[in-house]
Structure 1
Amino acid sequence: MTSQFHVAIIGAGLVGLKMALALHVHSIKCTVYEQAASTGGRFAGAVMLSPDSLRILDKYGAYAQLREQVYNFPAVKIRDAEGEPEDSCFYLGSRELFGYDALRAYRNVILKVLSTACAERRIDVVSGKKFSEILLSEDDDGQEDDGVHFKFQDGTMAHADILVAADGIHIKIRTVLFPQFRPEYNGVLVVCGAVKASSLNGAGGGGADGNDGLDTVAILEGRNGAGAFLLGPQLSDASELLAGTQRPFLPQTREEWARLSADQDFHLDFLREGYENRVPIVQRAVDNIVLGSTYIWPLQTLPKLERWWSSSSKNLDGSNGEGGGTANDSGGGGRVILMGDAAHAMPPTSSQGANQAFEDGWMLARVLKAVFTFDNVGSHAGSDARGSKVVKSSIEVDERLRKSLQTWHARRQDRIDRILQLTQQMHNLRLPIEEQRKLNDGEIYRSLARFQQARAGHRHEHEHDGVEHDEEAYFKMAVLEQWAWLYCPDDLVEDFQGKTDSDDNADGGL
């Protein structure tokens, strides 16, 4: 049975549509509003999805369909400046260990699967609706109305009990709540393009001269100051790969960024820099970039927000230019909620931006289900309670929502902070090798260090008793120890074992 309260979502991208599916699983009615005329062709580029978000996608019944259309792989391999595999890799998934291999896919492929799933479930997605402003609305008796009234640029208006902002780092709603916080360019520019796998075949013989080892995503180090280069399949048959690199780049004006974005010659020159200090397979990739496939990505982050929701009962925290109250405010609020890049944008080097946004959505749906359907209000908030003006019930719902969002945010923020640390370590792994050597322990990503220690200890302990060491078992143990926190968090796993509707879990777990 679908709940009587209603959620509006701004943005029909990957995050917004997955949020809609999460609400549907929890029997919550929603409408998704998209500013573009249609969701088709909304995004370029590819993303990588790991077991934490794939487990959620599987719950929606959309994982199997997506898996058949995209590239499946377990880990990012790392090659040294001579093209030889290092004793290191970055696990993004493992069907054996985490239940799912990682997926790499163009955003539009994922978007089509999610759009189809929403259509099959009769979830309303309204195109051509660009958000304009949040309105202050009162009922006939001059009392503040429950929920959120908002307006679009075409002049039409809408109302929902909850408004979720899920349209990325530049979404306007965040500037309403936090006008003092803007996206910040972090000084690193990424340039990427596509290359056909057939153009990478060299003379053979293995190593980086052949095409061996590129059956998965690979980071290839450069020499003499050249940073790492990324090659990664992004079609299901691995016939096409992403080719890209990053390096420090001066800030630009909005107009200059727009010019560079359209300048294909600049893109190719950027990719070609350091050409002579790269292994042959990277050189071949640079020589054979598919014309028109390149794009730039100036990396941006957000300052840490004190909360991800409106604290004012009028949901207009920042309208006076001061940003509104604090996370500990009492009373109303919480009816406008940020998620994904709108709340905690992160660089792509750990491949967790989209995955964490999907986790946000699943856990937020649990929060809303618990808050708006608990027995003590006597009726669904925002419907019968509002219509009969049972003010006590409405206040009780707002207070419960505020407390639940505080706990949800605290747990999610702890997880985001840990992932940001991993992201910085992965970023440092892409620095020129000369720069990497200047870093301290813990500042750069290291793979499975405990595996080497355990293997050495086992060999020493049993070197005279004839007991053979099981390297595969130690390896699996080390992978689980390093990555289980990210790909199989206890809260999420327990959630899928049947605890989604427990009132004790109203704080939203992760």
Structure 2
Amino acid sequence: MSVPKPEAIVVGAGPGGLAAATALHRKGWSVVVLERSATLEPIGAAIAIAPNGLRALDTIDAGVPLRACAAIRGAATLRRPDGRVLAPTSGEAFTARFGEPMVLAARAELMRVLLAGLPADALRTGTTVLTVTPGDADRRATVSTADETLTADLVVAADGIRSPIRRAVFPEHPGPRYAGFTTWRAIVPAMDITPGETWGRGLVFGAMPLADGRVYWYATANRPAGATHGDAAGERAELLRLYRDFHEPVGDLIAAAPAEHILHLDVHEMATPLPAHHRGRVVLIGDAAHAMTPNLGQGGNQALEDAIELADVLSGATASAVVDALPGYSRRRVARTSAVVRKSRRIGAMAQWHGRGAVAVRDTLLRVAGRVAPDAALRPLDPVLAWRPPTGAAVSTRAEV
């Protein structure tokens, strides 16, 4: 007699949720993805896929099409607002050090690739989860929506930084806190740029090329949580004011973005780690478990790691064995993701320094380090990008792109 497939419900159809659904599906699970939005519109302009994220994608045969998006070649620099170089590097140096490129892809492209790995009927949009009961060794987890109540052997909470599921299963946890700065992002038509970031006094501006020639830019500024400057046009006007003294083509990049296409979000992080990333038959991944500042570009990559590690922990597990297996997932992920959150916070704090004296010291140290050790800008990434898929994960055979 055949053993029925274990069943999983994934809540949230972002990159982490879709990767987890695909990874579990490939391990023989029956998977349903519940997404509250009526249509699957990617939130955010672009996403940086680092070597660790590419290796995670390889295990679900999604790495090859994303590598085709690699476009950061030649010089890449960290600069002052006047254009003076603080620390040089290059796309080639990055690839030589970490064995893979840094890929900047439109989020829509990543979502398309991940959806291709799922059965057509796996995704249910326009479905808001109202309540979750985590279950235990003897009872399946329960998920209630406005239309029905579902049960499953596993619930994957990939429902983002404001995760209602996290609040339900860890009500004692304080949740995310404001990191002290806000961010804007946009994709604009092709323009001649040198990839990299510019650090000012409490201001950061970054610009990176996409494979199709367009440019993705992002900006950050220190200001109180929730502060706005009226409508979308007012926000763009404020951006042009804040960065008016930055080197070219910063102003042109901001001006090239239609005001309504500039995404503005305050930055929050999980400063207090969760005691575990699971409870009962519920497991948390991505921002629901370990939201971090964007300074390492690791939010999405850690969610991809989560997905692959979760599927590996559950590989071969029967429905009744899920509760016993999930502590292994927490052991793998809590310490690592907490360390990445802390490292991202430290770099973000330094990048957002505002005091004239502190910024002068920071810039001097960066210039000296860049001269003495040309790879100084890449060294902090070593432990972050060193992750490899667990030996039990299926690795695809891929051609080099």
Q: TM-score, normalised on structure 2?
A: 0.84
Instruction: Decide whether aligned partners of structure 1 residues 343 and 277 sit closer, same or farther in structure 2, where only a CA change above 3 A counts.
Output: same
Q: CA deviation at 1:157?
A: 1.3
Q: CA deviation at 1:439?
A: 9.3
Equivalent-residue separation in structure 2 for 1:226 and 1:125 (angstroms) = 41
Query: Paired residue for 2:292?
Result: 346
Query: Paired residue for 2:204?
Result: 228
Q: 2:247 aligns with which of 252, 274, 279?
A: 279
Instruction: Decide whether aligned partners of structure 1 residues 287 and 43 sit closer, same or farther in structure 2, where only a CA change above 3 A counts.
Output: closer
1:172-228 superposed Cα distances (whole Å, 9 cap, x missing partner):
111111234333222211123343334xxxxxxxxxxxx4xx353x11234xx4623
Instruction: Note if contact 1:90-1:447 (Cα within 8 Å) is conserved in structure 2.
Output: no
- 2:337 partner letter: I
The 3-state SS of whatever aligns with 1:191 is strand
Query: Paired residue for 1:357?
Result: 303
Q: CA deviation at 1:9?
A: 0.7
Q: Say if 2:273 is the partner of 1:304.
A: yes
Instruction: Note if contact 2:94-2:378 (Cα within 8 Å) is conserved in structure 1.
Output: no
Query: Paired residue for 1:204?
Result: none
Q: Say if 2:384 is the partner of 1:486.
A: yes
Query: Paired residue for 2:197?
Result: 219
Q: CA deviation at 1:90?
A: 8.9
- 1:62 partner letter: A
Query: Paired residue for 2:399?
Result: none
Instruction: Note if contact 2:34-2:124 (Cα within 8 Å) is conserved in structure 1.
Output: yes
In structure 2, the gaps of 5 or more residues are 395-401
- 1:14 partner letter: P
Q: Say if 2:159 is the partner of 1:167.
A: yes
Query: Paired residue for 1:316?
Result: none
Q: CA deviation at 1:289?
A: 3.1
Q: How does 1:80-229 map to 2 (within 5 A)?
A: 80-89=80-89, 94-119=94-119, 124-135=122-133, 145-154=138-147, 156-180=148-172, 181-198=174-191, 211=192, 214-216=193-195, 218-222=196-200, 225=201, 227-229=203-205
Amino-acid identity (%) = 23
The 3-state SS of whatever aligns with 2:160 is coil
Equivalent-residue separation in structure 2 for 1:75 and 1:296 (angstroms) = 28
Query: Paired residue for 1:409?
Result: 330
Instruction: Note if contact 1:78-1:86 (Cα within 8 Å) is conserved in structure 2.
Output: yes
Equivalent-residue separation in structure 2 for 1:499 and 1:451 (angstroms) = 42
- 2:114 partner letter: L
Equivalent-residue separation in structure 1 for 2:134 and 2:257 (angstroms) = 52
The 3-state SS of whatever aligns with 2:82 is coil
Instruction: Note if contact 1:261-1:295 (Cα within 8 Å) is conserved in structure 2.
Output: no
The 3-state SS of whatever aligns with 1:306 is coil
Pairs aligned (count):
391
Query: Paired residue for 1:375?
Result: none
Instruction: Decide whether aligned partners of structure 1 residues 290 and 232 sit closer, same or farther in structure 2, where only a CA change above 3 A counts.
Output: farther
Instruction: Decide whether aligned partners of structure 1 residues 362 and 93 sit closer, same or farther in structure 2, where only a CA change above 3 A counts.
Output: farther
Equivalent-residue separation in structure 2 for 1:159 and 1:186 (angstroms) = 37
- 1:241 partner letter: V
Equivalent-residue separation in structure 2 for 1:75 and 1:339 (angstroms) = 35
CA RMSD of aligned residues (A): 3.5
- 1:484 partner letter: D
Q: CA deviation at 1:42?
A: 3.8
Equivalent-residue separation in structure 2 for 1:398 and 1:128 (angstroms) = 28
Instruction: Decide whether aligned partners of structure 1 residues 135 and 335 sit closer, same or farther in structure 2, where only a CA change above 3 A counts.
Output: closer
Q: CA deviation at 1:449?
A: 4.6
Query: Paired residue for 2:68?
Result: 68
Equivalent-residue separation in structure 2 for 1:445 and 1:428 (angstroms) = 15
Equivalent-residue separation in structure 2 for 1:447 and 1:400 (angstroms) = 51
Q: Say if 2:324 is the partner of 1:400.
A: yes
Task: Compare the two structures and name the one with the higher strand fraction.
Answer: 2
Q: TM-score, normalised on structure 1?
A: 0.67
Flag the structure with larger Rg: 1
- 1:243 partner letter: W
Instruction: Note if contact 2:47-2:104 (Cα within 8 Å) is conserved in structure 1.
Output: yes
The 3-state SS of whatever aligns with 2:161 is coil
Q: CA deviation at 1:413?
A: 2.5
- 1:430 partner letter: A
Q: CA deviation at 1:145?
A: 4.8
Q: CA deviation at 1:10?
A: 0.7
Query: Paired residue for 1:56?
Result: 56
The 3-state SS of whatever aligns with 1:117 is coil
Query: Paired residue for 2:372?
Result: 452
Instruction: Decide whether aligned partners of structure 1 residues 172 and 293 sit closer, same or farther in structure 2, where only a CA change above 3 A counts.
Output: same
Query: Paired residue for 1:244?
Result: 218
Equivalent-residue separation in structure 1 for 2:254 and 2:323 (angstroms) = 57
Instruction: Note if contact 1:196-1:290 (Cα within 8 Å) is conserved in structure 2.
Output: no
Instruction: Note if contact 2:290-2:341 (Cα within 8 Å) is conserved in structure 1.
Output: no
Structure 1, 274-283 or 299-308: larger mean CA deviation = 274-283
The 3-state SS of whatever aligns with 2:266 is strand
Query: Paired residue for 1:46?
Result: 46
Instruction: Decide whether aligned partners of structure 1 residues 447 and 7 sit closer, same or farther in structure 2, where only a CA change above 3 A counts.
Output: farther
The 3-state SS of whatever aligns with 2:77 is strand
1:343-395 superposed Cα distances (whole Å, 9 cap, x missing partner):
1111111100000011111111111125x2xxxxxxx344xxxxxxxxxxxxx
Instruction: Decide whether aligned partners of structure 1 residues 279 and 175 sit closer, same or farther in structure 2, where only a CA change above 3 A counts.
Output: same
Instruction: Note if contact 1:81-1:220 (Cα within 8 Å) is conserved in structure 2.
Output: yes
Equivalent-residue separation in structure 2 for 1:4 and 1:44 (angstroms) = 35
Q: CA deviation at 1:487?
A: 1.7
Equivalent-residue separation in structure 2 for 1:196 and 1:124 (angstroms) = 35
Equivalent-residue separation in structure 2 for 1:281 and 1:480 (angstroms) = 25
Q: CA deviation at 1:419?
A: 1.7
In structure 1, the gaps of 5 or more residues are 139-143, 199-210, 311-333, 373-379, 383-396, 454-474, 502-510
Equivalent-residue separation in structure 2 for 1:341 and 1:115 (angstroms) = 20
